[in-house]
Amino acid sequence: MKIVFAASESVPFSKTGGLGDVVSGLSKALVKKRHKVYVFLPFYLKTKRGVLDNYEFVDSFGVAMGNQMIGCNILKDVRDDVTFYFIECGEFFERDGYYGYGDDERRFSFFCQAVRKAILRFNLQPDIVHVHDWQTAILPLLLADAGLKFRSLLTIHNPLFQGYFNPYNLGSYLDLQEYYYSSGLLRFNDQVSLLKGGICSVDAISTVSRTHANELLSDFKAFNGLGYILNNRRFDMFGIVNGIDYTNFSPDNDSHIVKEYDYKTYKEGKLANKKAIYEKFGFNLNELDCPLFTAISRLTSQKGVERIVRNIPQLASQGAKLVLLGQGDSNIEQTLKDYCNQYPNTLKIYLGYSEELSHLLYAGSDFFLMPSRFEPCGLGQIIAMHYGSLPIVSKVGGLNDTVISYYDNKANATGYSFDGWDENGFDYSIGLAIQMYYGHSEELDNMIKNAMKEDFSWSKQVNEYIDLYKNLLAR
Ligand code: ADP
């Protein structure tokens, strides 16, 4: 099959969260199964400053945005046999960050228009166009509007972001006729929603776990009414759990950690990495036998960070430690700074983004906290399990589908998961984890080995996507 991906991020060129890992891991896995994959990405300032220095210039053209013609270059780089095309446009992508600008909808409308033009100029003729989240959801409609024949899949990685703009701008952003709005295809809460337009125009929709797919379909009101829209497409809705790329995340082959290890040698390996964390953050090395918790996350209310904050006094009183790596909401960041001053022997934080530090924390920690309010899939807990850091998670979305809870199945447990709505469940699980840690329990050792042996590799998960693509092509 010839598959075109369009996405707003992909490792190693750009990443803010799981989406970047998934686009990279899935495209590599598809190529290994001998499919042709072309990935379209924006050429961000960070991409330019970072790893991309050996690209090839392939094309240059203008895109009409209303009565303005905006130029862009198309650059190409081939990595692991995946062909990446970058849309370079200073006006839209040469900025310090990736998202969060007032004109994001215009930026990604431009991106989709540029990708359409490139696909047509390069005569790519894809069998499948696979788009991801609101930023690229509208591309299949644009291609179909230009007369191209293909099958399409939209994967929703986070339904919270729906890409809204004023319908007045439809012609100038997307070069689409007004009837796409007045017919209701693009209209959502009286605005254009790029995500809704995608949902209503693709052949199939997927999200990144079965439980989250069911959650979306079972609540009409959720996410501004997205549940209702998705219900109209429930027979074309699928849930496929993400994999992780073990070439990027494996404790037995990881240049970011101080000692590599596997499930047989995890005790020495994790201890050496824990020591490195203590040294880096200034914890007392005489306290290496304390349980070390970590959280690595965007700091938003989705991730339940306030649940973690609430437990800092409990961690302190029970002799545990927590290192938190994240960035996001400025109120949450300030609260964390305050707690850090109050509990210097318990809490250390790194407010920012660091791939390197994240690996060390996965490797050196004993427990990984992810008490999300909702979680389409979540990669943090999957990576943590592979590094033998036991996840403590709420039982929602992909967290439910990936962690085997100690409360449900002691022999095969890979972590602790509590009912997502039970406020006490998280606090109780932290207490239990500390108790089991100090008890040097055999059960804990068994859980760590179970977790490390779980297989969430893309080489396994990719087959579900291939089956879905084939199913679409057979329609
Ligand atoms: P989401 O995509 O909702 O942010 P996921 O759990 O699916 O959450 O994916 C998060 C990914 O981003 C993981 O690979 C995690 O290690 C990484 N990550 C999150 N925050 C940071 C950070 N501050 N520094 C480094 N990596 C981070």
The residue nearest atom 15 of ligand 1, judged by CA position, is: 380
Q: Domain for residue 451, yes or no? A: yes
Residue 52 has a pLDDT of: 65
| CA of residue 220 to ligand 1 center, whole Å | 28
Peptide bond into 12 cis (omega under 30): yes
Looking at the fold, whether 281 and 419 belong to one and the same domain comes out as yes
The residue nearest atom 12 of ligand 1, judged by CA position, is: 17
The residue nearest atom 26 of ligand 1, judged by CA position, is: 355
Looking at the fold, whether 128 and 273 belong to one and the same domain comes out as no
Determine contact, residues 80/28, Cβ cutoff 8 Å.
Answer: yes
Cα gap 209→189, rounded to integer Å: 26
Determine contact, residues 468/238, Cβ cutoff 8 Å.
Answer: yes
Looking at the fold, whether 113 and 197 belong to one and the same domain comes out as yes
Looking at the fold, whether 449 and 466 belong to one and the same domain comes out as no
pTM: 0.94
Residue 108 has a pLDDT of: 98
Cα gap 197→302, rounded to integer Å: 24
Residue 69 has a pLDDT of: 97
| CA of residue 358 to ligand 1 center, whole Å | 9
Cα gap 60→358, rounded to integer Å: 38
Residue 226 has pLDDT above 80, yes or no: yes
Looking at the fold, whether 300 and 427 belong to one and the same domain comes out as yes
Looking at the fold, whether 151 and 83 belong to one and the same domain comes out as yes
Coil, helix or strand at residue 442: helix
Q: Domain for residue 258, yes or no? A: no
Phi-psi category of residue 389: left, alpha or beta, with phi > 0 → left and psi -120 to 50 → alpha? beta
Cα gap 386→264, rounded to integer Å: 13
State which of 23, 242, 257, 358 you would mutate to test the pocket of ligand 1, scoring each by most atoms of that ligand within 8 A of its C-beta: 358
Q: Identify the band that residue 93 occupies on the pLDDT scale cut at 50, 70 and 90.
A: very high
Looking at the fold, whether 40 and 176 belong to one and the same domain comes out as yes
Determine contact, residues 85/41, Cβ cutoff 8 Å.
Answer: yes
Within 8 A by CB and 6+ apart from 410, the residues are 443
Q: Domain for residue 257, yes or no? A: no
Determine contact, residues 213/224, Cβ cutoff 8 Å.
Answer: no
| CA of residue 274 to ligand 1 center, whole Å | 20
| CA of residue 296 to ligand 1 center, whole Å | 6
Looking at the fold, whether 452 and 464 belong to one and the same domain comes out as no
State which of 15, 248, 296, 303 you would mutate to test the pocket of ligand 1, scoring each by most atoms of that ligand within 8 A of its C-beta: 296
Cα gap 414→391, rounded to integer Å: 8
DSSP string, 110-131: HHHHHHHHHHHHTT---SEEEE
Place of tokens 């991730």: 303
Q: Domain for residue 328, yes or no? A: yes
| CA of residue 60 to ligand 1 center, whole Å | 34
**What stretches of 169-261 show up as alpha helix (H) in DSSP?**
170-174, 179-182, 194-201, 210-218, 222-231
Task: Read off the pLDDT of residues 358-400 as tens digits, 9 standing for 90 and up.
Answer: 999 999 999 999 999 999 999 999 999 999 999 999 999 999 9
| CA of residue 471 to ligand 1 center, whole Å | 31
Residue 375 has a pLDDT of: 97
Looking at the fold, whether 332 and 378 belong to one and the same domain comes out as yes
Task: Read off the pLDDT of residues 1-48 as tens digits, 9 standing for 90 and up.
Answer: 999 999 999 999 999 989 999 999 999 999 999 999 999 999 999 998
Q: Identify the band that residue 420 occupies on the pLDDT scale cut at 50, 70 and 90.
A: confident
Share of the chain above pLDDT 90, in %: 96
Q: Identify the band that residue 225 occupies on the pLDDT scale cut at 50, 70 and 90.
A: very high
Task: Read off the pLDDT of residues 94-124 as tens digits, 9 standing for 90 and up.
Answer: 999 999 999 999 999 999 999 999 999 999 9
**Ligand 1, atom nearest to 350 Cα:** 23
What element of type H or E holds 347? Answer: strand 347-351
The residue nearest atom 20 of ligand 1, judged by CA position, is: 297
Residue 425 has pLDDT above 80, yes or no: yes
Q: Identify the band that residue 128 occupies on the pLDDT scale cut at 50, 70 and 90.
A: very high
Coil, helix or strand at residue 157: coil
Q: Domain for residue 252, yes or no? A: no
State which of 329, 354, 379, 381 you would mutate to test the pocket of ligand 1, scoring each by most atoms of that ligand within 8 A of its C-beta: 379
Task: Read off the pLDDT of residues 33-89 as tens digits, 9 standing for 90 and up.
Answer: 999 999 999 999 999 887 766 789 999 999 999 999 999 999 999 999 999 999 999
**Ligand 1, atom nearest to 15 Cα:** 12
How many other C-beta atoms lie within 10 A of the C-beta of residue 297?
24
**Ligand 1, atom nearest to 327 Cα:** 23
Q: Domain for residue 256, yes or no? A: no
Q: Identify the band that residue 441 occupies on the pLDDT scale cut at 50, 70 and 90.
A: confident
> Which residue segment(s) compose the domain that 356 sits in?
266-456
Task: Read off the pLDDT of residues 141-172 as tens digits, 9 standing for 90 and up.
Answer: 999 999 999 999 999 999 999 999 999 999 99
Q: Domain for residue 250, yes or no? A: no
State which of 156, 297, 333, 362 you would mutate to test the pocket of ligand 1, scoring each by most atoms of that ligand within 8 A of its C-beta: 297
Coil, helix or strand at residue 275: helix
| Total tally of structural domains belonging to the chain | 2
Q: Domain for residue 249, yes or no? A: no
Looking at the fold, whether 438 and 464 belong to one and the same domain comes out as no
Looking at the fold, whether 18 and 150 belong to one and the same domain comes out as yes
Cα within 13 Å of Cα(282), Cβ side: 7
| CA of residue 321 to ligand 1 center, whole Å | 21
Task: Read off the pLDDT of residues 405-419 as tens digits, 9 standing for 90 and up.
Answer: 999 999 999 999 999
| CA of residue 378 to ligand 1 center, whole Å | 8
What element of type H or E holds 136? Answer: helix 133-136
Looking at the fold, whether 93 and 232 belong to one and the same domain comes out as yes
Task: Read off the pLDDT of residues 321-355 as tens digits, 9 standing for 90 and up.
Answer: 999 999 999 999 999 999 999 999 999 999 999 99
- Give residue ranges with CB within 6 A of ligand 1: 17-19, 21, 296-298, 325-327, 353-355, 358, 377-380, 383
Residue 50 has a pLDDT of: 74
| CA of residue 303 to ligand 1 center, whole Å | 11
**Ligand 1, atom nearest to 298 Cα:** 20
| CA of residue 83 to ligand 1 center, whole Å | 25
The mean pLDDT value of the chain amounts to 96
Residue 440 has a pLDDT of: 79
State which of 21, 207, 256, 332 you would mutate to test the pocket of ligand 1, scoring each by most atoms of that ligand within 8 A of its C-beta: 21
CATH of the domain at 291: 3.40.50.2000
